[in-house]
Structure 1
């Protein structure tokens, strides 16, 4: 019987060791699960912060694009108006050169186009009325 008692006590010790190992493993697993949950929660918080940041940045970019579109449309309209104005002025200049050629008599007598049209010449041409509704330039070119 002493052998049986020693066998039982050895068995109890083995069961106690196995139970202790199971208990330690459970504790370790619980700690590991807790750390895993904390990492996951932190990751979710980080993702939410990134979502907020990217959403804000996206709104800023959308507003900037909208502003640039409006500005682009304004510039295009202004450019179109300036092109139309240029065309009208070019046609007007051509018409005035034709009129001037008839008044002066010959094409070669047309005064050269002022390269700086914003500067008014200092010699105005007097207008003479020849008949009702008709105007004539008194042009004497200085050579």
Structure 2
């Protein structure tokens, strides 16, 4: 996957770079980059239209290099490069393993991630943030319960 300057925001306040982010920060505004919202390939029509609008800002040009056949992205406006690359990477993920694109299990998180775990059971976009929050809240609930007499 190409390196993307995408920044996803979780309602809980953390920021993390992810290829299949719910929002891609581009300049001063946001462009929605995941059209399915966790509902599966294709999503709803307005979301598909938003993704296709981002993809309209670039294209792949086939090239032949000294190393062999290649592809080179082209953009009319280079500022669309990060959003276009994230949208293209999302399409690649949908093509290869759509069942591995998941929504984070933390109730306050809006992020989606690509599950690369061996057995496909990853639950959190980030174990260090969302997973830790869930574990900490379970621990707090266990330790602050009034003791029965």
Q: State the TM-score, normalizing by the size of structure 2.
A: 0.21
Q: Structure with the greater relative contact order (CA < 8 A, sep ≥ 6): 1 or 2?
A: 2
CA radius of gyration, larger in: 1
- For normalisation by structure 1, the TM-score amounts to 0.22
Larger relative helix fraction: 1
